[in-house]
């Protein structure tokens, strides 16, 4: 009794089917959904991916390269013996790695907006889709579905979001960058004290997206770069107002204003005079301090020389000799 056995393998994009035969077989054929692929050595299929691997009394094997979903289905090995035909079949299921086919574009939104991120993917088995905040990492902001909803988004939700599509075959990932615009906030200004003729610098820092534009004012009058020898330098979130030679007229109240398309903010900074008396000591103060320091260092045995202004230290023995010398001189 003739027994037919079909063995098939699917390795990445290569599929092959083998049909075990016997000595009684006179004719053989491979069919796919009633379409003849091979009849003996004769190829009936016009698909260039289909080829004959082996045909002998023991084995009849065909190969299909670059397998895709259209190749899924039932394959039949049919043999003709001297008595009657026999057939056996196998159903091929083609698995496909996931591929993200529809993803939200990079977004720029204003703070307080409602945001929806969409991710669609194909694959077989059907892939599981999920969202997470990738950078900065935030495990609390995630979704196990094709859609990620972020209501009333804040500036702290800006960053890179990752969509993952996974099945038993592989994983596909893609990212979306989310930018959140918000109005400027300005750090409190620090008042600056500068002596006449010295260099003075006022600094202003603003947090904003998009980056803020800076303006400087003296009272209600705007200051421009190069005005009265003043330099204004902006670099990202910082602005710097520099006086190269401070004069009396420069002292006063200055206002830094940071503006973008969503709003503005400001802070005030005072440039005030720092007098030399605060930083320097008079010569008399210096001499008095020196004298006091000598007393502390030299102790009760020190005698001040009025001519030289220096201190001489006498030991008890030296003092005794001085007293004796004064008594002798009296006689």
Confidence band (pLDDT; 50, 70, 90) for 28? confident
- Region of poorest pLDDT, from 147-161, 169-183, 271-285: 271-285
Residues paired with residue 109 on neighbouring β-strands, in sequence order: 180
Structure tokens at 312: 């001489």
Number of H helices, E strands in the chain: 3, 27
Tell me the chain's radius of gyration from C-alpha atoms. 47
Domains and CATH numbers, the chain: 5-92 (2.60.40.10), 97-183 (2.60.40.10), 187-273 (2.60.40.10)
Confidence band (pLDDT; 50, 70, 90) for 324? low
Kindly report, residue by residue over 275-302, the tens digit of the pLDDT: 754 444 444 444 444 434 444 334 444 4
Of 93, 88, 73, nearest in space to 9 by CA: 93
pLDDT value at 16 more than 90: no
Kindly report, residue by residue over 184-240, the tens digit of the pLDDT: 999 998 999 999 999 999 999 999 999 999 999 998 899 999 888 899 999 999 999
Structure tokens at 216: 């400087």
Of 264, 269, 270, 271, nearest in space to 186 by CA: 264
Total Cβ atoms within 10 A of residue 228 = 11
Between CA 208 and CA 180 the distance in angstroms is 10
Q: What is the structure's pLDDT at 294?
A: 45
H/E element holding 279? Answer: helix 276-279
Contacts of 231 (CB under 8 A, 6+ apart): 225, 241, 242, 244
Q: What is the structure's pLDDT at 320?
A: 57
Q: What is the structure's pLDDT at 30?
A: 87
Q: Are 125 and 98 in contact (CB under 8 A)?
A: no
pTM of the entire predicted model: 0.67
Residues paired with residue 17 on neighbouring β-strands, in sequence order: 8, 62
Confidence band (pLDDT; 50, 70, 90) for 312? very low
Which residue in the block uniquely carries the two structure tokens 């750090």? Answer: 187
Q: What is the structure's pLDDT at 326?
A: 59
Between CA 92 and CA 96 the distance in angstroms is 13
Please report, for residues 51, 119, 150, the alpha-carbon distance to residue 153 in angstroms, rounded to integers and kept in the order given: 58, 19, 6
Q: What is the structure's pLDDT at 56?
A: 82
Kindly report, residue by residue over 75-129, the tens digit of the pLDDT: 988 887 777 778 888 888 888 999 999 999 999 999 999 999 999 999 999 999 9
């Amino acid at each position: 009794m003739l027994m037919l056995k079909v063995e098939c393998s699917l390795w990445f994009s290569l599929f092959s089917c083998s049909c075990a035969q016997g000595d009684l077989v006179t004719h053989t054929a491979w069919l796919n959904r009633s379409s003849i692929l091979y009849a003996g050595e004769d190829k009936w299929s016009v698909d260039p991916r289909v080829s004959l691997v082996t045909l002998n009394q023991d084995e009849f094997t065909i190969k299909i390269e670059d397998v895709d979903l259209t190749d899924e289905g039932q394959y039949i090995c049919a043999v003709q013996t001297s008595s009657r035909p026999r057939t056996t079949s196998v159903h091929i299921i083609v698995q496909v790695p996931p591929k993200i086919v529809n993803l939200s574009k990079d977004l720029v939104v204003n703070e307080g907006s409602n945001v929806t991120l969409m991710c669609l993917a194909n694959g077989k088995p059907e892939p599981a889709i999920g969202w997470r905040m990738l950078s900065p990492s935030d495990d609390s902001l995630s979704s196990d579905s094709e859609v990620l909803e972020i209501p009333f988004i804040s500036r702290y939700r800006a960053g890179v979001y990752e969509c993952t599509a996974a099945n038993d075959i592989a994983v596909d990932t893609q990212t979306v960058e989310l930018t959140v615009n918000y109005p400027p906030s300005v750090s409190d200004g620090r008042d600056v004290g500068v002596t006449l003729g010295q260099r003075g610098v006022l600094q202003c820092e603003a947090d904003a997206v998009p980056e803020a534009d800076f303006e400087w004012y003296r009272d209600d009058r705007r200051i421009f770069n190069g005005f009265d020898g003043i330099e204004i330098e902006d670099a990202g979130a910082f602005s710097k107002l520099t006086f190269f030679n401070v004069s009396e007229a420069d002292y006063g109240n200055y206002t830094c204003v940071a503006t973008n398309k969503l709003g503005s903010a400001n802070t005030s900074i005072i440039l005030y005079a720092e007098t030399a008396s605060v930083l320097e000591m008079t010569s008399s103060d210096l001499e008095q301090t020196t004298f006091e320091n000598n007393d502390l260092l030299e102790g009760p045995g020190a005698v001040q020389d009025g001519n030289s202004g220096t201190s001489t230290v006498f030991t008890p023995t030296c003092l005794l000799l001085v007293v004796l010398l004064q008594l002798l001189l009296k006689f």
